[in-house]
Amino acid sequence: MAASDTIENMYDVALKPRLLRSLLKEYVPDLKHQFRNPSVLSYVVSAIKTHQLLSESAPPESYEKLIENWTAAVDCWINRVVALASSDTPDKCWAGICLLGVTSQECSRERFIASYAAWFNKLLVHLQSPADSHFVKVATCASLSDLFTRLSGLPNAKKDGIALSTKLIQPLLKQLNEDKFDASWEETIFLLCRILDIFPSSIQRHYDGVEDAIVLRLMSGKCNPSMLKKLGYCLSLLPKSRGDEDGWVLMMQKIMLSINIQLNDAFQGLEKETIRTEAMRLLLPPGKDPPPPLGGQSLSRGTVDNTMRPEHLQISRISTLILCCCELFTNSYPFQVAIHVLPLIALAKRVLMVDGSSSPGIAYMTTMKQEFFCSELPVLHSHILDLLTSIVKGLGSQLLPHVGSIIRLLTNYIETSTLPELRIKVYAIMKVLLLSLGVGISTHLTDVIVNNSLMDLDERGTSFVAQQKIHPETTTKTSHKKRKHASTSSSLEEQPDKDVFEVGMSPNMASLSVKIAALEALEALLAVGGSRRSESWRVNVDHLLLDVTRNASKGGWAKDGIWRDYQIAALQALLASLLSPGRTRPPHLSQGLELFRRGTREIGTKVAECCAHAILALEVLIHPRALPLLDLESTDNNYEVGNKWFSGNVHISNHAANNTFQIGTSRKAPDEPDSYKDDLYADWMRNGEDLDIVAADPGKDTDTSNQPPETLRDPSSEKLPSFDTTAVKVSESSKLEQVAPITAAKKSPMDRDEIMVESQLSLKTSKHSEDLLPSKSNVVSLGSENIADDASIKEVVEASDAGFASPLMMTLDRGKELMHESDNESMESIPDIVDVEPDSD
């Protein structure tokens, strides 16, 4: 007993039964006393969860007494809870039902298996009795749902689960059909969805009944939007209960037909007759029988709420049905489904084409009706864009045959669409398209994304006229932006954070979210196709992104809210612009780094996380390395690698007689064991040994070696030793002389391109300009066709490209390698003309 008398610490098992008993004594209501304060229940539940009081899982070495004690305590608990659940006082009954739900989630597996059937019956009573209050019913549904969830996790409970859940359907249906009151509806639907999810076959017999009930509610116009969403979800889960493709296809067809019929009604006078016949033809090829209408005959019973304007009701119905389509795409079904994509895209096109203007000469429409209609149209567009999103997400590469038409649809749509919400969605679809379909699609989306995001992100109203032309309404927006801008910079000193936040927020909430969406689309574009045909747009976009990020961060970093989201979106897009390979070294690298560095100081914020990630990613750009693939555990220690892949001594031939693999003249490999993994490190080291002066000033080294093409093509060649001395001179005196090469280097379009060329260099022409130190000329030969003249060299140099390594490393290497060679290999001069082709044959 001693063990249970004293408690060692909060982890002690002995604590648990004691705690449980005292909870029962002090907090859990009993039958005799009044239950005053329901909020104690949340304390009880959190204690149970934290200490796992009902788990009954003691470590094996615990005393038997202790375990018995615990079991007894849990018995007490369950007795009390079950008694409460059958109490006739509503609040106690409610408490009991809630705690029963918690118990079925938390109790040990054995206990659950032993008693779930009894608990189910207790709960079922409350679901069936009409007298119970809604509060009790809601709790009952929640607890039942948890009971089924737990049941579904047990291996052999499927049969039982189906049997039990079948019992539930009838009362649930009754509740759905009768209940006038919405309060317990949500939980009822949730429970239904849970059953559809876990034990779908139990609904099979009541399939039509459930469909009718849901559709009736959907169409009634009495539900709030969140309720409609749940109903839509539930409807889309229904095909699971049939368990085959046909059920799904039928459901989809019914929904599509229903949408079409409603659209025909709604779009009267707004579109040409041919469009609607075409839409119908796609859905129902001539000669095919139409499926029974959605929801059976339930609709004709007509419980339509007349307090709502018919246009509103109509659009809300269509929207909910579209939502069902979305769910059908995004839910996972246990069977394979084949679906015609064309009708869906035609539907999207049909809706997006209607902008509320009555097509001339078709039909008469009252201004009143048009006004109502136009007020509801954006909702419809927004939902149809959601449908497009889920089609794109759900079909992935299968969408390819139709991607062309989707691109055209979106491109046309974003030109005219000015509402922020809709633009956001179009950007989002484009982003998903880019990320899922990759390089192939990037060329087709580049123009539209770049043009539109340039417009949306424009901060200074530079393209004011253009904007006005396309977006008459944005004039006001722009002035807001201007104001924000001005106050941002002026208020910097005093209380930057708040000020910017407010100024940025209040007038421009919507336009900020459009900007976020545009930034995200740009980021995706840069990630996927940043280097593709990029000459025309990269410069602008890179510049824009730097500007946007700078301005976003001017007043400091926001802790949360949409302004922070905007800042993060800007930072991420900027990172993408720095990382996405272009023709030159990212021109805004240093400014970008500065921004990220500032961001990391916001300790503990999302911005700091994002910036830390960016700095990590950019580090590779600054210190590029091409690490050899090396197995350290390998017992094969003869494989000594120098600082470059295969450049050390490689003698394996003694290992396997038939393996011939011998490469390279030996180069001194650094002795430090950990250095031979890291070529960059090795380079630095080598640098230090060989040529201190250059190593002392690596930055300069980098810059200088990034020489203009003129130097490259300089045909004069010099002796290497003399080269060393110039090196010293240059790096010491520098500055003046350096100006020219640096600017030249900036202009040079080819920093990353020589990589391919690089390894050939000592074989090829080798020459150095007199005063530029690590300039090692690289002239490229592409195999047999060769460097006959300067022009061809240039061409080749420019032609070469690709992400083999990045410019800096290369240039660094080049310089150092040269030094090294001069030291190590041969101090004699390289022959004057090295145009010999070793590989010509």
Partner 1 sequence: MTEPELVIASSPTDAGISCWDLHTGAEHLRYRTCSSPSHGLTCVGGRFLASSQLRETKSSTGSILYWSWNKPQVEVKSFPAEPINPLVANSEGTYIAGGGASGEIYLWQVATGKLLKKWHAHYRAVTCLLFNDDQSLLISGSEDGSVRVWSLIMVFDDLLRGKAKQPYEFSFSEHSLKVTDVVIGYGGANAIIVSASEDRTCKVWSLSRGKLLRNIVFPSIIDTIALDPGEDVFYAGGRDGKIYIASLNAVADPNNNYGLHILGFLSEQSKAITCLALSTDGSLLISGSEDGMVRVWNTKNHNITRIFRHAKGPINNVVVVRQSSLMSNRGTVNSQMPSVKRHGLSLPPPLEKCANSADENDYKAVIVPRIDPDRSVEASYISIQSLSNQILELQRQGSSAAAEMEIERLKLDRSRSMQMIQQWETKFQSLHQFCVTELLDGEKAGNA
Residues of this chain, 686-745, that bind partner 1 according to CB under 8 A: none
Neighbours of 741 (CB within 10 A): 24
User: Is 760 one of the binding residues for partner 1 (CB under 8 A)?
Assistant: yes
**Which residue lies nearer to partner 1 by CB, 91 or 565?**
91
User: Is 94 one of the binding residues for partner 1 (CB under 8 A)?
Assistant: yes
**Which residue lies nearer to partner 1 by CB, 66 or 797?**
797
CB of 160 to partner 1, least distance (A): 16
CB of 193 to partner 1, least distance (A): 10
**Which residue lies nearer to partner 1 by CB, 178 or 631?**
631
Q: 245-272 b/e with 16+ CB inside 10 Å = b?
A: eebbbebbbbbbbbbbebbeebbeebbe
x/- site string to partner 1, residues 325 to 344, per CB under 8 A? ----x--xxxxxxxxxxx--
CB of 605 to partner 1, least distance (A): 26
User: Is 397 one of the binding residues for partner 1 (CB under 8 A)?
Assistant: yes
What does the alpha-carbon distance between residue 159 and residue 149 come to, in Å, rounded to a whole number? Answer: 14
CB of 392 to partner 1, least distance (A): 11
Please answer whether residues 54 and 108 qualify as being in contact, where contact means their C-beta atoms are separated by less than 8 angstroms.
yes
State the DSSP code for 706: S
Closest CA to 170 of 120, 233, 127: 127
- Contacts with partner 1 by CB under 8 A: the residue count is 125
Among 62, 71, 86, 89, which residue sits at the site for partner 1 (rule: CB under 8 A)?
89
CB of 413 to partner 1, least distance (A): 17
x/- site string to partner 1, residues 601 to 640, per CB under 8 A? -------------------------xxxxxx--x-x--x-
x/- site string to partner 1, residues 175 to 194, per CB under 8 A? --------xx--x--x---x
Please answer whether residues 445 and 527 qualify as being in contact, where contact means their C-beta atoms are separated by less than 8 angstroms.
no
Contacting partner 1 within 23-82 (CB under 8 A): 38-39, 41-42, 45, 49
Contacting partner 1 within 554-583 (CB under 8 A): 581
CB of 730 to partner 1, least distance (A): 25
CB of 260 to partner 1, least distance (A): 17
What does the alpha-carbon distance between residue 721 and residue 829 come to, in Å, rounded to a whole number? Answer: 8
x/- site string to partner 1, residues 431 to 470, per CB under 8 A? ------xxxxxxxx--------------------------
Closest CA to 643 of 602, 675, 597, 609: 675
User: Is 472 one of the binding residues for partner 1 (CB under 8 A)?
Assistant: no
What does the alpha-carbon distance between residue 775 and residue 707 come to, in Å, rounded to a whole number? Answer: 7
User: Is 286 one of the binding residues for partner 1 (CB under 8 A)?
Assistant: no
User: Is 165 one of the binding residues for partner 1 (CB under 8 A)?
Assistant: no
User: Is 762 one of the binding residues for partner 1 (CB under 8 A)?
Assistant: yes
Neighbours of 697 (CB within 10 A): 15
Contacting partner 1 within 226-245 (CB under 8 A): 243
What does the alpha-carbon distance between residue 326 and residue 384 come to, in Å, rounded to a whole number? Answer: 9
**Which residue lies nearer to partner 1 by CB, 340 or 550?**
340
> Sign of the CA dihedral 370, 372, 375, 380?
negative
CB of 841 to partner 1, least distance (A): 7
Q: 502: buried, middle or exposed (CB in 10 Å: 19+, 13-18, 0-12)?
A: middle
CB of 427 to partner 1, least distance (A): 19
**Which residue lies nearer to partner 1 by CB, 701 or 817?**
817
**Which residue lies nearer to partner 1 by CB, 2 or 656?**
656
CB of 541 to partner 1, least distance (A): 15
User: Is 524 one of the binding residues for partner 1 (CB under 8 A)?
Assistant: no
**Which residue lies nearer to partner 1 by CB, 340 or 369?**
340
**Which residue lies nearer to partner 1 by CB, 35 or 501?**
35
Q: 290: buried, middle or exposed (CB in 10 Å: 19+, 13-18, 0-12)?
A: exposed
What does the alpha-carbon distance between residue 466 and residue 446 come to, in Å, rounded to a whole number? Answer: 19
What does the alpha-carbon distance between residue 595 and residue 550 come to, in Å, rounded to a whole number? Answer: 7
Phi/psi of residue 639, nearest 5 degrees: -80, 90
Closest CA to 348 of 304, 308, 386, 307: 386
Integer CA distances (angstroms), 321 to 110, 231, 325, 614, 784, in order? 44, 10, 7, 43, 66
Beta bridge partner(s), residue 651:
662
